[in-house]
Amino acid sequence: MPAFRYRKSSYSDPEAECVEVATNIPTTIAIRDSKHRTGPSLHVTPAAWTAFERTVREGTCDQPGG
């Protein structure tokens, strides 16, 4: 399997705790803590990542049951 190529948002503060996301593998999205790059990473399907992004953009993740 090829290596994940992680990226961090350009809006992120270089000194802040952020997440990095790798989308270069078609079947897996990988998410990790930018301050602990050798630590564990979370792997989700592209469909799950798309649903998460949509929820964040819509603001529904702040609502109970959302």
SS3 per-residue string spanning 1-66: CCCCCEECCCCCCCCCCCEEEEEEECCEEEEEECCCCCCCCEEECHHHHHHHHHHHHHCHHHCCCC
Domain interval for residue 36: 6-60
> What pLDDT is attached to residue 59?
84
Whether residue 66 is contained in a domain is answered as no
Whether residue 43 is contained in a domain is answered as yes
Whether residue 56 is contained in a domain is answered as yes
> What pLDDT is attached to residue 60?
79
Tens-binned pLDDT, residue by residue, of the chain (66 aa):
679 999 988 888 777 778 899 999 999 999 999 888 889 999 999 999 999 999 888 887 776 655
Number of domains forming the structure of the chain: 1
> What pLDDT is attached to residue 64?
64
Model pTM? 0.78
Distance (Å, whole) CA 32 – CA 35 = 9
Whether residue 65 is contained in a domain is answered as no
Whether residue 13 is contained in a domain is answered as yes
Whether residue 35 is contained in a domain is answered as yes
